[in-house]
Amino acid sequence: MKRKGILYLIADFSRGEQVIEQALKAGVDYVQLREKNISSAEYLRRAKRMKQMTDAYHTPLLINDRIDIAMIIGAEGVHLGQDDIPVSEARRILGPGVIIGATAKTVEQALDAQKQGADYLGSGAWFLSNTKQNAIPIKEETYVNILENSSIPNVAVGGIQVDNCHIPLKSGADGLAISAGILASTNIHDAVMGFRIQLGEK
């Protein structure tokens, strides 16, 4: 996984395929498929379609939560939350070549995930977002402590927009995990380029 300047898209199919393809064409580094409240069969169908799209742009695909679906479609990785199976079990099942990301909201969670074999961390929420309206915003001090005590890349997540992403970047974030900040934009290409500029200024 990249160490710095990571532009990481969190996507579902709620806005259709076209906006996802526009983001891929504009040039994101990774895509995480995050679907909620759908059947396993439908999740698998969407994951297969997303894999076709990401493969066309040579972009690694990670599946949120579902290791089984990631294995079936040959995804490049998975992202696991605190309520999902342990990173160590995922690593045992998936092997060394698959990217495993973990959510870490505290230093303890970050160190535990790193020890278990995570390749990167996602920490937040930095700001309120439509996908996680009840999330408790992370304190900047906590985020900096996570960075200082872990040695794997960390992407800032949660309500990230072009006009606020400088805040986590100034705190030391290695990258940005973005959903609506790209997919809800009226101009997907310009949104991606805007984030790229901010990442380049880090």
Cα(67)–Cα(165) distance, rounded to whole angstroms?
30
Show the domain range for 55: 6-200
> Any binding-site annotation on 186?
no
DSSP lists the bridge partners of residue 102 as 80, 121
Contact 188, 7 (CB under 8 A): no
**What per-residue confidence (pLDDT) applies to 1?**
86
> Any binding-site annotation on 149?
no
Angle at 125 between CA 54 and CA 96, to 5 degrees: 45
**What per-residue confidence (pLDDT) applies to 135?**
76
What is the H or E stretch that residue 146 is in?
helix 140-149
Query: Helices 17-26 and 40-56 meet at what angle, rounded to 10?
Result: 30
Neighbours of 40 (CB within 10 A): 10
Evaluate whether residue 159 is within a structural domain. yes
Q: End-to-end CA distance of the chain, in Å?
A: 18
Q: Specify the DSSP class assigned to residue 84.
A: S
Nearest Cα neighbor of 56 from 79, 22, 32 is 22
Model confidence, pTM? 0.95
> Any binding-site annotation on 130?
yes
Overall domain count for the chain? 1
> Any binding-site annotation on 150?
no
Output the tens digit of pLDDT for each of the chain's 202 residues: 889 999 999 999 999 999 999 999 999 999 999 999 999 999 999 999 999 999 999 999 999 999 999 999 999 999 999 999 999 999 999 999 999 999 999 999 999 999 999 999 999 999 987 766 677 899 999 999 999 999 999 999 999 999 999 999 999 999 999 999 999 999 999 999 999 999 995 4
- The tokens for 1 are 């996984």
Evaluate whether residue 1 is within a structural domain. no
> Any binding-site annotation on 49?
no
Cα(55)–Cα(1) distance, rounded to whole angstroms?
17
> Any binding-site annotation on 52?
no
Question: At 17, which CATH number?
Answer: 3.20.20.70
